[in-house]
Amino acid sequence: MHVIMLFGVLLSSYLMVATKRISALIRTFRYQSLFLFMATFAVALKERQAELYAIAGLLLVIKVLAIPHFLYRIIKRIRPSEDLGLFINAQLSLACALSFTWLSWVFTSRLITPPGGTQGIMITVAFSVVLAGIFIMVSRMMALAQIIGLLVMENGLFLLASTVSGGMPFFVEIAIFFDVFVSVIIMGIFVYRINKLFTHIDVNKLSSLKG
């Protein structure tokens, strides 16, 4: 069950890398967070720990509901063009994401012996999600993609932390959730401001600001 959810996380990151539209990106991010929530919830059911339930709840509230809702509100407010602005086209991006998964598999198999097993799969998925996140940040022009890329990376790190160290301490986990939430709000406001000032949110054009 847990592993299936993990594949859901991985699959949604492929979808995100391949998508061309902003609203689709946000929607897929919501699916990824949902899969992550379900994976955590499955573990919580198995281990029967109150803290894990709380973390899963927070995941649901913040990453599945609040953040996508907030991002939707921003795009409704500023009405950017739907196009994400791809530096690398969708097919090639997907190929890249697949190669990242292979790379993280190789990396993981060097890290733990014997390779394979649930833990190996989890680390592989976590790494490829992190790489997919940063890939979205690098290869998409619109500022909203940078926000979502960062959130995807955070999802990957969450997964990595929960595999490698069996989850971070509860308070750290909560603090991270709120950090992420606050940073999304701040970045959202920035995007809003950038749009107001320059009438676009194309990060690539911001380089004309330098002296």
Partner 1 sequence: MGHFNIPGLFLFDPLSLFFLSVIALVSAPSAVYSIGYLKGESSKRKIGLARLLLAIFLASMALVVSVKNVFIFLVAWEIMSLVSYFLVVFDTTHEKSIRAGMIYIVMTHIGTAFLVAAFALMYKYAHSFDFTAIKSASLTMPAQIRNAIFLLLLVGFGTKAGIVPLHIWLPYAHPQAPSHISSIMSGVMIKTAIYGMIRFILFILGVDSCWWGVLVLTIALTSCLVGIIYALMDKDLKRLLAYSSIENIGVILLGVGLSMFFASIKMPYLAVFSLIAGLYHLINHAIFKGLLFLCAGSVYKATGTRDIEKLGGLIKNMPQTSACFLLGAMAISALPPLNGFVSEWLTLQAFFLGASAVTGPARLFLGISAGLLALTGGLAAACFVKAFGVTFLALPRSRFAENAKEVPLSMRAGMFFLAAMTVIFGLAASPIVRTLAKVAGSATGIDVGKMAFCVNNFMLSPQPGRGIYLSTPLLCLILAAFGLVGFAAYMLIGRRKAVICKTWDCGYYKFGSRNEYTATAFSKPFRIAFSFFLLPYRKTQKIRESFYHIRSFEYETHTTKVFKKYIYEPAIALVFRSARSMKRIQPGSIHLYLSYIFVTMLLLIIFMHKF
Residues that bind partner 1 (CB under 8 A): 87, 103-104, 107, 110, 127, 131, 134-135, 137-139, 141, 146, 203-204, 206-207, 209-210
Q: What is the largest CA-CA distance in the chain?
A: 57
Nearer to partner 1, 95 or 141 (CB): 141
Min separation Cβ 177 and partner 1, Å:
24
Q: Which two tokens mark 165?
A: 């160290």
Give me the helices (H) in the chain, please. Answer: 2-18, 22-47, 50-58, 67-78, 90-111, 117-139, 143-164, 170-198
153: helix, strand or coil: helix
Min separation Cβ 137 and partner 1, Å:
5
Find the distance separating the first CA and the last CA of the chain, reported in whole Å: 55
Q: Torsions phi, psi of 83, nearest 5? A: -70, 130
Min separation Cβ 3 and partner 1, Å:
23
From the list 11, 64, 69, 67, the residue with the least C-alpha distance to 38 is 64
Nearer to partner 1, 34 or 131 (CB): 131
Min separation Cβ 50 and partner 1, Å:
36
Nearer to partner 1, 48 or 113 (CB): 113
Nearer to partner 1, 51 or 202 (CB): 202
Nearer to partner 1, 96 or 185 (CB): 96
Min separation Cβ 163 and partner 1, Å:
17
